[in-house]
A and B are shown apart, each in its own frame.
Chain A
Amino acid sequence: MSEFLLDVKNVKTHFFTDKGVVKAVDGVDFKIKKGETLGIVGESGSGKSVTSMSVMQLVEEPGKTIEGAIKFKGEDLLQKTTEEMQTIRGNEISMIFQEPMTSLNPVFKVGEQIMEVLMLHQDMSREEAKNKAIEMLKIVGIPRAERVVDDYPHQLSGGMRQRVMIAMALACEPSLLIADEPTTALDVTIQAQILQLMNELKKKLGTAIMLITHDLGVVAQMADHVIVMYCGKVVEDAPVEELFENPSHPYTKGLMKSIPSLDDDKRRLDSIEGMVPHPLRLPKGCYFEPRCPYAIEKCKTHKPELKEIASGHKVSCFVATEEVR
């Protein structure tokens, strides 16, 4: 068994639509160590959510993971049967989503929804499960947990619901938690609280986190390691300090510029010019080339590959790798 909890190799998840094949995830590699937090950054449409659904093996039709390997604790999830995956989901790998308002089933009590995972994966009786659910609600900082357990989701605020989602996800003490934009839909103050809670629980339970976000600020606060995705490919891969000190891909640089910062007296935030290309009409060369301020001729015709430019720091850009040499 390797030192990595999750080892994703060359995963390709494509959507076979009527209009053509959308290569939502196209040869993605990354690794997560036990107890580590990996940030996956990118704009919407970059394939980061599909990456997480690929790990869960929950990609919906017409999508399909057609290549690669997703090794979790040394075993390839892509080789598992549906039943085997069901014993892993919610138990060893669990997930929280962007929309706490709609991610909980409106017709079941909050406690019921937490108990369900416990009874399924841990063979608990209803009573044991209910006690554990209350305990979990307390752990995620919900006051009056004994009462909230019998509440319906609509009776709770967005932040509270996300806490419930976290309680549900962590109920079986999974070794990996996938968090897909967990704070995007929340108010800023609530955001900070939820992130702090996730950090605390990670330390307490030793859970590794795969954190998907478009917000580099969140990454800085949470992640140990970061990958940046663009159009289904990893364009930069680095430890978090290295990435912030030495962002190398023009796209990463662009993202950095769009973070508001206190010690910067610029009045306007830079944003990246142009739009993400249409997934069915990707540029021939580097996918970022049409928006790239540093593009050279070669970028129009050739696709760059991920190359290591410093220890643990990889980037896929002709300009960036030339520069270093």
Chain B
Amino acid sequence: MLKYILRRLLQMIPVILIISMLLFILVQAMPGDPIQAYLGVNSKVNPEVKERIKAKLGLDKPIHIQYIMWLKRMLTGDFGESIEYKRPVSEVISQFIWNTFLLNIVVFILAFGISIPVGIICAVKKYSRTDNFWTVFSLIGISMPSFFFGLLLIFGFAVNLKIFPISGMITAGSRYTGLAYALDVAKHMVLPTIVLTIGSLASLVRYVRNSMLEVIKQDYIRTARSKGLSEKVVIYRHAFRNALIPIVTLIGIWIPTLFTGAIITERVFVWPGIGRVLYHGVIMRDYNIVMTLNMFFAILMLMGNLLQDIGYALVDPRVKVE
């Protein structure tokens, strides 16, 4: 197993290199004068000084040399400075990423905690009232743009009913500590959590249901029944253990999204997460942020694929990873 993981990680290196090259080329194609950006938009410096800075930063070198220099810096953990936050990119990321994680881990637990039992019930009682309800629910959830849904919730629950705060993560100007602080954050989390959970549930319930239906029609389920096992054992032991295989692979893909955040939801609810940092970076042309985050997300997704395969090997005895 360890060998397999190592091999997969090694195989990832060329892919990551290619991705980094593509990103680097993209960023080179970005408009704007990096020297000016480095000095600040309003500073006036004579061209000679500019040339010197250019040489110092290595920007006078050919592009492939620049790429290697950039790569070296990235590998040593130096992601450059954020223009907007005036701080190293790594600091900015570590400041905001946990807000994203907090929101997403709650959504993750809710989404899987609800969709697995619901999906099973829908599959077992196919076309029942429960199943039909969730089918309609899924359809609406899949078709509802998250920003529109978020705005509707704000309009209803925050603006009109005033039950929940409109946006942000903590009440502005508040100095809560301890439990009061946690409660304040929790209140702010409710609406974005609803948006993200319902969005995820819509597709997850469908997925679990269909995986379960696929399993229920297999011959070994008939065998299990013919052994005199109760329906409960047939469904929750024999069937579910098999349906778990596709579900576990799905969890593998989901783990990276805990960190990549939800740009739209974070934007609508002004949640100070990593998705918003990227969005602002894009708007403000904060290239170091944009580069680093895209690179980070791509690596996370690749890791997700690996996790998926490992999960597969763990739950399916037919899969051997060697």
Asked whether any CB of A lies within 8 Å of a CB of B in the complex, the reply is yes
- Taking Cβ atoms with an 8 Å cutoff, the residues of A that contact B are 56, 58, 82-83, 85-91, 94-95, 97, 99, 102-108, 116-117, 120-121, 152, 154, 165, 168
Q: Is the CB of B238 within 8 A of A105?
A: yes
User: Roughly how many angstroms separate A88 CA and B315 CA in the complex, as a whole number?
Assistant: 32
Q: Is the CB of B229 within 8 A of A94?
A: no
Asked if A108 contacts B241 (CB within 8 A), the reply is: yes
B242 in contact with A105 (CB, 8 Å): yes
Bound-state Cα–Cα, A143 to B267, Å: 65
A87 to B227, CA, bound (A): 9
**Given known contacts A106-B317, A106-B318, A107-B316, A97 and B228 CB-to-CB distance under 8 angstroms:** no
- Residues in A whose Cβ lies below 8 Å from that of B242: 105-107
Q: A107-B317, A108-B241 are in contact. Are A97 and B227 (CB under 8 A)?
A: no
CB proximity of A189 to chain B, nearest CB, Å: 24
CA distance A88 to B229 in the complex (A): 10
Within 8 A of A (CB), among B199-244: 218-220, 222-231, 238, 241-242
A103-B223 in contact given A86-B229, A86-B230, A120-B229 (Cβ < 8 Å): yes
Choose from A99, A117, A154, A165 the contact partner of B318 (Cβ within 8 Å): A154
Q: How far is the CB of A228 from chain B (nearest CB, A)?
A: 25
Show 23 A/B contacts (Cβ-Cβ < 8 Å), sorted by A. A58-B226, A82-B231, A85-B228, A86-B229, A87-B228, A88-B228, A90-B226, A90-B229, A97-B219, A97-B222, A99-B219, A102-B218, A104-B220, A105-B220, A105-B241, A107-B315, A108-B238, A117-B228, A120-B227, A120-B229, A121-B228, A152-B317, A154-B317
The interface residues of chain A lying within 8 Å CB-to-CB of B315 are: 107
Q: Binary interface profile of B, 290-322, with partner A (CB < 8 Å = 1, else 0)? A: 000000000000000000000000011110000
Q: Could you tell me the distance between the alpha carbons of A86 and B225 in the complex, rounded to whole angstroms?
A: 8
Neighbouring A residues of B224 by C-beta, 8 Å: 105
Q: Report the separation of the CA atoms of residues A156 and B62 in the bound assembly, to the nearest whole angstrom.
A: 61
Chain B residues with CB below 8 A from A168, complex form: 227
CB pair A91 B219 closer than 8 Å: no
CB of B213 to closest CB in A, whole Å: 13
Picked from B222, B229, B231, B318, the residue with its CB within 8 Å of the CB of A116 is B229
A104 surroundings in chain B (CB, below 8 A): 220, 223
Say which residue of A106, A120, A154 sits within 8 Å of B228 (CB atoms).
A120
Interface residues on B, range: 20 to 34
Cα A89 to Cα B228 with chains together (Å) = 4
The 10 closest A-B pairs by CB, nearest first: A89-B228, A90-B228, A90-B227, A102-B219, A105-B220, A95-B226, A152-B317, A103-B219, A86-B228, A154-B318
Closest to B126 in A: A61
Chain A residue numbers with a CB within 8 Å of B317 are 106-107, 152, 154
Q: Contacts A116-B227, A120-B227, A168-B227 hold; do A103 and B220 have CB atoms under 8 A apart?
A: yes
- Distance A89 CA – B225 CA, assembled complex (angstroms): 8
Cα of A168 to Cα of B227 in the assembled complex, Å: 9
**How far apart are the CA atoms of A106 and B218 in the complex, in Å?**
11
The answer, among B220, B241, B245, for a CB contact under 8 Å with A102, is B220
CB distance from B231 to the nearest CB of A (A): 8
A85 surroundings in chain B (CB, below 8 A) = 228
Q: In the complex, how many angstroms separate the beta carbon of B177 from the nearest chain A beta carbon?
A: 49
Question: Considering the chains assembled together, what is the distance between the CA atoms of A108 and B244 in angstroms?
Answer: 13
- A216–B295 Cα distance when bound, in Å, is 67
**Knowing that A58-B225, A104-B220 are A-B contacts, what are 6 other residue pairs whose CB atoms are under 8 Å apart, sorted by A's residue number?**
A89-B227, A97-B219, A102-B218, A105-B242, A107-B242, A107-B316
CA distance A90 to B242 in the complex (A): 22
Contacts of B226 in A (CB 8 A): 56, 58, 89-90, 94-95
How distant is the Cα of A88 from the Cα of B226 in the complex, in angstroms?
Answer: 9
In the assembly, what is the distance between CA of A215 and CA of B263, in Å? 64
- In the complex, what residues of A have CB within 8 A of residue B230's CB? 83, 86
> A152–B228 Cα gap in the complex (Å)?
22
A95 to B242, CA, bound (A): 22
Contact of B222 among A58, A82, A86, A87 (CB under 8 A): A58
List residues of chain A with CB within 8 A of the CB of B220.
Answer: 102-106
Give the shortest distance, in Å, between B223 (CB) and chain A (any CB).
5
Output the least CB separation between A9 and chain B (Å): 23
Contact yes or no, B225 A117, CB < 8 A: no
Q: How far is the CB of A108 from chain B (nearest CB, A)?
A: 7
- Give every chain A residue within 8 A of B231 (Cβ-Cβ): 82
Q: Which residues on B sit within 8 Å (CB–CB) of A102?
A: 218-220
Q: Please, which residue of chain A has its CB at the minimum distance from the CB of B217?
A: A60
B222 to chain A, nearest CB (A): 7
Chain A: minimal CB distance from B179 (Å): 44
B280 to chain A: closest CB distance in Å?
Answer: 47
- Within 8 Å CB of A94, what residues of B? 226-227
How many whole Å from B134's CB to the nearest CB in chain A?
20
A205 → chain B closest CB, angstroms? 18
Q: How far is the CA of A77 from the CA of B309 in the complex (A)?
A: 47
Q: A95–B231 Cα gap in the complex (Å)?
A: 17
CB distance from A10 to the nearest CB of B (A): 24
Minimum C-beta distance from A59 to chain B (A): 11
Residues of chain A contacted by B245 (CB below 8 angstroms): 107
Closest partner residue, chain B, to A154 (CB atom)? B318
B224's closest neighbor in chain A, by CB?
Answer: A105
**Which residue of chain A has the shortest Cβ distance to B238 in the bound complex?**
A105
Identify which of B223, B229, B316, B318 contacts A97 (C-beta below 8 A): B223
